Amino acid sequence: MSCDNCSGHLVTSATPQPDMPAGVFRDSLEPIRQRRRRLGDTVVTYLVDRIVSGVYPVETVLPTEPELCQEFGVSRTVVRESIKLLEEKRLVKATPGRGTRVLEPIGWNLLDPVVLEAQIRHDRDLSILDNLVNVRAALECDMAAQCARVITPSQAEELTRQANVLVESMYDPERYAREDVTFHEMIMIASGNRLGHAIIHSIHAKARLSSQYNGTPNREHLVQSLAEHRQIESMILQGDAQGAAAAMRVHILGSWAKRRPGVLGVRP
């Protein structure tokens, strides 16, 4: 055993024996690598949260390697790998002899799921959610328009069936929310815009984890939402690209305006 841990814990160091096949040695290392990755993920998640929340403000230097080892009970290797991941997310810059400095938020990778989730969690003025909704509206409006141009007969039938499922779900808000997501997914898939779909899928999934984003649905909102979904469906089935885009925009921005705490609408 060798001690690679600043907190005094021992980290097992696997050493191949003379008669040990190379493949067996690699297999013996895999549990260690997996454990290291899990520890690293935990350290990264905590550090991202502290940076985004302002516990570690911009231009400040993170605690030293020994301090992080001590706090999290992990090895120097795990800490170093965690710092590299923070650099990849563009949250920090590590400089030999000067420590690891927190960078300006303008450069942070907000499409990284860990960073985005932390941003939404600490979004006190809801500016991130406002931006997210506007990005979602821009992309989904474009995809709704494209869907109206290229949707196939079988896809059109599936969309109508899904709209009918929304009707059936009116008295079950949780089910309605799930079927709502499926309705939008169908439109994005039918549009053929794989990149737009991937971006929306990523950012919307994180937003839905926030109670601030979801709000508390009521009967009036569900009735309005259903009418808007039916309008989107109608425009798409008529092949009206401009109408589909307009209906999608009204729906996404209008729904957020109703849910958003403390305001009547969103910024344009």
pLDDT at 265: 43
pLDDT tens by residue, the chain, 268 residues: 334 444 444 333 344 444 545 454 345 545 545 655 676 788 999 999 999 999 999 999 999 999 999 999 999 999 999 999 999 999 999 999 899 999 999 999 998 989 999 999 998 889 999 999 999 999 999 999 999 999 999 999 999 999 999 999 999 999 999 999 999 999 999 999 999 999 998 888 888 888 788 877 788 889 999 999 999 999 999 999 999 999 999 999 999 998 887 644 444 3
Using DSSP, state whether 95 is helix, strand or coil.
strand
- The alpha-helical segments, DSSP class H, found in the chain are 22-53, 65-72, 76-88, 113-121, 127-150, 153-168, 173-191, 194-207, 211-214, 219-237, 241-259
pLDDT at 240: 98
Contact predicate 52/119, CB 8 Å: yes
Going along the chain from its start, the domains and CATH numbers come out as 22-107 (1.10.10.10), 126-259 (1.20.120.530)
By CB neighbour count within 10 A (0-12 exposed, 13-18 middle, 19+ buried), where does 233 fall?
A: buried
pLDDT at 64: 94
List of residues 6+ apart from 174 with CB closer than 8 A = none
- Give CA separation, 141 vs 20, 96, 186, in Å: 59, 47, 14
DSSP 2-49: B--BTTS--B------TT--HHHHHHHHHHHHHHHHHHHHHHHHHHHH
Which of left, alpha, beta for 45 (phi over 0: left; psi -120 to 50: alpha)?
Answer: alpha
